Amino acid sequence: MQTTRRCALLRELGLTPTVQRLAVLEFLEGTSRHPTADIVLAEIQKRHPTISRATVYNTLDALTKAGVILRITIDPAVTRYDADLKPHAHFRCRTCGAVYDIRLERENTLGDVFQGHRIETVRTYAYGVCLQCLRKEGIASA
């Protein structure tokens, strides 16, 4: 129950802490499944049936711009979101599409500047086949 803290956080960022925004933030902080906007919408609607798709997109955009959550473009078809700000990479299974975290030993850095371009953020995406799908493959081909 850190609603108070989340309220304060949103206020600091200049965002009115509405029920909808708090719900989105709370959901993202409580999951490690890297949900899409659609999944966020479906989840929040369980408790707040009137929340609209537009509000979810607005909120995800506002939180991303404020730096409270990360926008993940590992998947060509949909954007995913992550409230875990600790440096880590992401892995996507090309069979089932699931996205997992990969701990990094040292933060991935390319330096602050490259050929005059100012680098602000670095993301690492890995692709392959996840453990579950490898097992199914093994069974299928056995």
> Which residues are at the interface with DNA (CB under 7 A)?
11, 15-21, 36-38, 48, 50-55, 57-59, 61, 76-79
Q: What is the CA radius of gyration of the chain?
A: 18
Contact region for its own copies (CB under 8 A) — 5-13, 35-43, 52-60, 68-76?
A: 68-76
User: What's the closest the beta carbon of residue 87 comes to DNA, in angstroms?
Assistant: 23
Nearest to 32 by CA among 88, 93, 109: 88
> Under 8 Å CB-to-CB from 38, ≥6 apart: which residues?
78
Q: CB-wise, 73 or 108, nearer to DNA? A: 73
Whether 35 and 43 have beta carbons less than 8 Å apart is answered as yes
> CB under 5 to 8 A by kind: which of its own copies, DNA, none does 36 bind?
DNA
Q: Of the candidates 124, 130, 39, 134, which has an alpha carbon nearest to the alpha carbon of residue 74?
A: 124
Name residues whose C-beta falls within 8 Å of residue 109's C-beta, 6 or more positions apart in sequence: 122
51 binds, options its own copies, DNA, none, Cβ within 5 to 8 A by partner type: DNA
Q: Does 57 bind its own copies (CB under 8 A)?
A: no
Residue 108 binds: one of DNA, its own copies, none (C-beta under 5 to 8 A by kind)? its own copies
Beta bridge partners of 42: none
**Of 1, 106, 114, 138, which one interacts with its own copies (CB under 8 A)?**
114
